[in-house]
Structure 1
Amino acid sequence: MNSKVIFSGDTSINVVFENVVSEKISNQVLSIAKLVERQHINGLVDIIPAYREVTFVFDSLVIDIASFKHFLEKQL
């Protein structure tokens, strides 16, 4: 699975997959979104899946962004 975790602003981070529209990529997007949602992470404000990426919006006063990025990388 080719993916990377990148910062997309002060209060959001993206998990980005290959630039291909496919059922496999779609399933990966939905899988990571659901996995994180099931964690009920305090300070996670929104999860926004798209065709090849997932944006996680968070409260930067609640979530340690470095730890959250590391958590996402481990899940991939």
Structure 2
Amino acid sequence: MVNYRKILEHHFNGMTQRTIEVAVGSSRHTIRDVVKKAEEKELKELTEEMTDYWLEEFLFPEKVPKRKAISKKIGIMFIRNSVSRI
């Protein structure tokens, strides 16, 4: 998983992308994407509530799986299969 919080902490502290790459172990491409999205969304500082998961949902909502929809669909399929066996 990408360490969004560490990338942004280092970025806000003035580190270069190459230095952040070494510090967190992510590619420069990933770091560039995270920094670019943060700038687009005008994110200028981090708060305690901003976990990696929160940041991923905020910066890249298209990457977060739609868990509720999937689990609901699986539940309905399970019920249908169970009823058809009776």
What is the TM-score with the length of structure 1 in the denominator? 0.38
Considering fraction of residues, name the structure with more strand.
1
**Which has the bigger relative contact order, CA under 8 A and spacing at least 6?**
1
Rg comparison, structure with higher value: 2
What is the TM-score with the length of structure 2 in the denominator? 0.35
